[in-house]
Amino acid sequence: MKTLRFSVFALPFVLGGFVCWGFAAETPNPAEAEYYKITTFPTPPGTALEVGAVELLPDGRVALGTRRGEVWIASNVQTASAEGVWDQNSASFVADPSLPATAKIQYTRFAEGQHEILGLAYKDGWLYATNRYEVLRMKDETGAGKATRFETVCDKWGVSGDYHEYSFGSRFDKNGDLWVLACLTGSFSSKTPFRGWALRVKPDGTMVPTCSGVRSPGGVGFDAEGEVYYTDNQGPWHGACTLQHLIPGTFQGHPGGNMWYDMAPNMGPRPVDPNDKSRMVIERERIKELVPPAVYMVYGSGKIGNSSTAVICDMSEGRFGPFAKQLFIPDQSHSNVSRVYLETVNGVKQGVVFPFLKGLRSGPIGARMGVDGKFLVGGSDRGWGAKGGQPFAFERVDWTGKVPFEVHEMHAKPDGFELTFTEPVDPVSAGNLESYSAREFTYIYQEKYGSPEVDDVMPKIEKAEVAKDGKSVRLKFDVLTKGHIHELHLDGVRSASGKPVLHPVAYYTLNEIPTK
């Protein structure tokens, strides 16, 4: 088989519609590595394993869908221990041949010939793949390890051939449906039907238009209750990357695809268009269908990231550490993972994002976590730079068993926030107002690409009350601003054993202020 070699810039891949080049490669943070270990696997020689989707199979193997249109089945993923050595000739990691078989990942090519697979789901012996133009299901009827039967399940959304018309697919939801997130054409407009929409594919293949207002999704997934979320990326009508709650019948913020409402009678009338250069909190009052971002994945270097992708819920019941049922969101350009805690206030989803882990080798796109707590992630930097520095990678993140000192949850209160921690705090440092600083800001809701951080408010933290058990702190602010991101720094807080907070910054999106 001929070895594939390619440039980072071979084809445009613009999750956020804005090309960034020339990231310097980053190595894992030693402080994070004490708690979470990254294992980078060797990849099959002769192909670029640009993982766009990951699915777990009932027999313990793992299915990988790639941007090159291939499906690979990987064995020993949970036990393989070798990081391998990067081989420039084959553009892949090569395992040490002296290692035992159980320490080596093994691959079989199950299928090929599709286009940009960005969703995989398994059900009843079939593997469902979402690519640009269809949901396709496939199975091996001979037992030879390769798909022999292929069936189109749904191909009812539009495809023009534009480079940016990616389609991201979910696993099956609690109703047995698949969700498809259809990127806008060129990331700015909708040239074919339902580009810029969230669609559901029913078990019989029927396509149901479900939410409008999508711009440039990077992934779709579920929380612990089965609610559906997707990530959208900075661009027109998106001041920053966001985590969005997909409620059927809603408008998610970008009006470019709303021209297709006449083809979706189940959705009701088309929403009114947002006013340019407004604010999300203002437009929510005008547009009854508009759902605000649950969390702004704060944009920029040294913050959360520039291109949010997969939505992964920790359902491992503690096997991945102390963050059960929280969400983990990789970022393709920053080669990192962030952690999100959500709550519902006045019927609206909102919450906080924290940095979690950096140092992935490429730009993470596809990801999955099993009940065993093995966090699998793969990706590519083709058409983009990624801080990881490699053109593609497939990796596993494992908890080492040590508990980091972190803010565990952040809850909105009528006059501030309550923080809970993964271990008791030192009451002196946690009760000292000088240990904290805060800022409140928002983004311009506008047709122009992106937004600076605007409308700054500098609140005064008037009180820091430590609970008797030391596991929580109640902060009282002199002002909270509805619709603003509340940035909180905890540089002075220490644990009872003297440790600093591993990631001492939080960004809470305050869509609603609780009444009690």
**Sheet of 241-245, strands arranged across:** 219-222, 228-232, 241-245, 295-297
Q: What is the mean pLDDT of residues 398-411?
A: 98
103 falls in which pLDDT band (50, 70, 90)?
confident
Is residue 11 very low, low, confident or very high in pLDDT (cuts 50, 70, 90)? very low
Does residue 91 register a pLDDT over 70?
no
Only one residue has tokens 């009854």, namely 288
pLDDT tops 60 at residue 3: no
376 membership: H or E segment, kind and range: strand 375-380
Please give the pLDDT value at position 90.
56
Residue 436 contacts residue 266 (beta carbons within 8 Å) = no
Q: What is the pLDDT confidence band of residue 4, given thresholds at 50, 70 and 90?
A: very low
Residue 323 pLDDT grade (very low, low, confident, very high; cuts 50, 70, 90): very high
Please name each of the domains of the chain with its CATH number.
34-399 (2.120.10.30), 407-509 (2.60.40.1220)
**Listed residue (253, 323, 330) closest to 284, CA to CA:** 253
**What's the pLDDT tens digit per position in 39-87?**
999 898 889 999 999 999 999 999 999 999 999 999 999 988 765 565 6
Q: Tell me what the mean pLDDT of segment 403-413 comes to.
A: 98
| Strand (E) or helix (H) holding 508 | strand 505-509
Decide: 460 and 477 in contact? Cβ < 8 Å.
Answer: yes
Catalogue the E-assigned strands of 92-240. Answer: 92-94, 106-111, 120-123, 126-130, 135-139, 149-154, 167-169, 178-182, 197-201, 207-212, 219-222, 228-232
Over the chain, what is the mean pLDDT?
Answer: 92
pLDDT band at residue 429 using 50, 70 and 90 as cut-offs: very high
Percentage of the chain modeled with pLDDT above 70: 92
